Amino acid sequence: MRFSVLICIAPQERETAVIETCRQAGAGGVTILEGKGMGLQEKKTFLGLTFEAMESFLVFVLERSLATHVLKAIKKGHQDHTIAFIIPIEHLTGIDLNQVDRFVDQVKEEI
């Protein structure tokens, strides 16, 4: 079984909605990291300071075909404000065997 990491960067205020979309598409657990981001064109506040938006980095470890399915769900429902991409994983340790069984069941359903 091959795995990928799906990374999704969303505005913090949309974190819950994006996670729900991912869960409905078959994703399980998620690691949530907080960060700040700036766009290509800086936004200035009233004091001339640069506005840095708070972002949520959502990290999912998924079976490869499931990762693609979840990515498509993100694109369909959140593409106007969310960046998402997939990185293949070559070696993996520490994943719960129950999670692996769940991935196997999902892949069997697709076939």
CATH of the domain at 8: 3.30.70.120
Mean pLDDT, rounded, of the chain: 85
Beta bridge partners of residue 103, listed in sequence order: none
Domain that holds residue 38: 3-110
- pLDDT tops 70 at residue 8: yes
The structure's pTM equals 0.78
Q: Which two tokens stand for residue 4?
A: 């990928």
Rounded CA separation 79/74 (Å): 7
Residue, of 103 and 35, whose pLDDT is higher: 35
Rounded CA separation 5/31 (Å): 11
Q: pLDDT (tens digit, 9 = 90+) per residue, 36-83? A: 877 666 666 666 666 667 899 999 999 898 999 999 999 998 878 899
What's residue 57's pLDDT?
A: 97
DSSP assignment of 16-58: HHHHHHHHHTT----EEEEEEE--SSPPB-TTSPBP-EEEEEE
Domain count, the chain: 1
